[in-house]
Amino acid sequence: MDYIIQQIINGISVGSIYALIALGYTMVYGIIKLINFAHGDVFMVGSFVGLFTAKILAAQGFPPMVVFIGALIISMTASAVLGVVIERTAYKPLRKVSRIAVLITAVGVSFLLENGGIYILGPQAKGFPEILEKQQFNLFGSVQVDSNQVMILVVTVILMVVLQYIVHFTKTGKAMRAVSYDLEAARLMGINVDRTISYTFAIGSALAAAAGVIFGMTYNSVDPLMGVIPGLKAFVAAVLGGIGSVPGALVGGLLLGVIETGVTSVGYSLWRDGVVFAVLILILIFRPSGLFGKNVREKV
Amino acid sequence: MFKNSRNFWVGSAAAFVIYVVIQLLFNQGVLNDVAESTIILICINIILAVSLNLINGFTGQFSMGHAGFMSVGAYMSAILTLDFNVPFPVALIAGGCLAAVFGMMIGIPSLRLKGDYLAMATLGFGEIIRIVLLNTEYVGGASGLSGIPTQSSWTWVFVFTFLTVVLISNFVNSIHGKACIAIRENEIAAEAMGINTTQYKVIAFVIGAFFAGVAGGLSAHKFYVITPTSFNFIKSFEILVIVVLGGLGSTSGAILGAIVLTLLFTWLQDFPEIRMIIYSLVLILMMIFRPSGLLGTREFTLDLFKRKGKKSDESVRSSS
């Protein structure tokens, strides 16, 4: 029993990272119906910005908490800017053309970020500094939680609450919901659609960057291709929860993390990614709108 | 591509001339081994692009698992020639058939999915095939199969490329192909007109997968070694990019795209550090400035050369 609870706790901490990335997918997909393949690489850039910021701040002798929050905020800001730049230069000229062309562009941007990263930073993995010292807490029995897992959960919950507030209680959030409901009607009602889409990219990218910093602190290693697999899995998480739904992304991410840890803990770690994709296919076949999605009837 | 029989015969004759000329150039030693590899790679990419175009371009089913089909064909044919001494062409066709079975398996979920969701499901399917291969000891696991006899000569590759192009373009121009195009244009309307959309979607997947399997077999028997990693989703993207760049829904576009992109890729081998950066920039710029691809849905026919008046007449009609 203790073992199972322990695995669930581990799964939730992995899943929180997926959930944060999945939010970016779900928001962008909800608004412009684009699978933003570059999102996983924005996560990678966020991780690297966090790494460099943490190193610079730590060298100045700031206390660990300040270094952590500083790295988080600076990498979120930088990635938000990157997300908006990508949207403005690569996706905006393609609003009116076929979806497949935009998808290819997204893949192109993804390749550009990955290989630009390899060109600038080198292909080797870099060590992520240990910003906050890890501590183990015993909960009950043999169940343990380390401070890093607590930090992941706290950051994820805070960001989710902020996001829920933005989406439901601000003017920008209202505009986002309107645009995702019907882009043309929103434009007719005087909503600045382009600006709203840029905001969506900024918020999604900032969340991915936060996930990147957390990822670096958990696994202590970052490299330019690190975004590919978590990016894909986060998309699966977004589909699992119901694409376009914010709570869906959270639940999908956590669920995927738990499933993955479960598969690993019974000794099938090599099949882990296969199980993730099998879950994706099953969900798509039996409940294409995801766990939290609305069932949209096709209009004839 | 072959709107009428005249085009078909002229096209076939042209293909045969190309075959003979290139064969002569090999014999005379004008083209070296590198050039031969490039030409064979172009042909393999043509098979992949033309077959994916049938699924994506003509039937409008967004598939991103083509590398998965390719790997099935590659492994099947490699095992047959390695372990069972099956003749090369038979092994290729057997590989294609197994890939077609997988195509049917992917086609069936596709009946319920469309657009991006289908894309993700096929991508997931391709990745599952890769992971299964990765964990199967019989096919070498992560290290893959090696020592595959290099039997993909220019002649064999040419024959299979020619067959693929002829069969798929004839299929597209047949009544069945028109049904596929109707599904692409509007699935609900096609169904209302009495087209069995289910059946045609599965047929498109099966035919597309068959030729992808053949292409996989050809590439396995050219490059001596296959690993599961060489058939990951990046490979699927590569094929998709060829098709989109050439023009979705145009067989000649797919051929043109395969030639242009393979040459670009080979040329970029000389700049290993910035190769992928240039490639991705080309992709983005291409899509921004020419999102419908080089040829769009138009075909390259003989009419393009003569009677300009007729052509401009057509363009007026299509724009109105």
Predicted confidence (pLDDT) per residue in A10-44, tens digit? 899 889 999 999 998 888 988 888 888 899 999 99
**Cβ–Cβ contact B133 with A under 8 A:** no
Question: What pLDDT does B310 receive?
Answer: 42
- Answer whether residue A77 is part of any domain: yes
Question: What pLDDT does B61 receive?
Answer: 87
Question: A184-216, pLDDT tens digit by residue?
Answer: 899 999 999 999 999 999 999 999 999 999 999
What one-letter code names the amino acid at B168?
I
Question: What pLDDT does B70 receive?
Answer: 94
Q: b or e along A233-257 (b: 16 or more beta carbons within 10 Å of the residue's beta carbon)?
A: bbbbbbbbbbbbbbebbbbbbbbbb
- Answer whether residue A137 is part of any domain: no
- Answer whether residue A299 is part of any domain: no
Is the CB of A35 less than 8 angstroms away from the CB of B119?
yes
- Answer whether residue A48 is part of any domain: yes
Is the CB of B244 less than 8 angstroms away from the CB of A273?
no
Question: What pLDDT does B246 receive?
Answer: 86
Question: What pLDDT does B311 receive?
Answer: 42
With beta carbons less than 8 A apart as the criterion, state whether B62 and B80 touch.
no
**Cβ–Cβ contact B112 with A under 8 A:** yes
Question: What pLDDT does A201 receive?
Answer: 95
The complex's ipTM?
A: 0.84
Is the CB of A284 less than 8 angstroms away from the CB of B134?
no
By C-alpha distance, the chain B residue nearest A235 is B120
Residue written as token pair 């070498």: B140
CATH code of the domain in which A153 resides: 1.10.3470
- Answer whether residue A173 is part of any domain: yes
CA–CA separation, B141 and B260 (whole Å)? 34
Average pLDDT, chain A: 88
Total count of domains within chain A: 1
**Cβ–Cβ contact A255 with B under 8 A:** no
Question: A102-133, pLDDT tens digit by residue?
Answer: 888 998 999 999 999 999 988 888 888 887 77
Residue stretches of chain B with pLDDT short of 70: 1-4, 110, 300-320
| pTM for this model (two decimals) | 0.87
By C-alpha distance, the chain B residue nearest A272 is B131
Question: B65-116, pLDDT tens digit by residue?
Answer: 899 999 999 999 999 998 888 899 999 999 999 999 999 988 787 677 777 8
Q: How many residues does chain B have?
A: 320
CA–CA separation, A176 and B74 (whole Å)? 47
CA distances in angstroms from B227 to A206, B135, B231, listed in the order given: 37, 12, 8
- Answer whether residue A151 is part of any domain: yes
Q: b or e along A145-179 (b: 16 or more beta carbons within 10 Å of the residue's beta carbon)?
A: bbebbebbbebbeebbeebeebbeeeeebebbbbb
Is the CB of B115 less than 8 angstroms away from the CB of A99?
yes
- Which residues of A fall within a CB distance of 8 Å from B132? 274
State the residue range of the domain holding A178.
Answer: 2-124+146-286
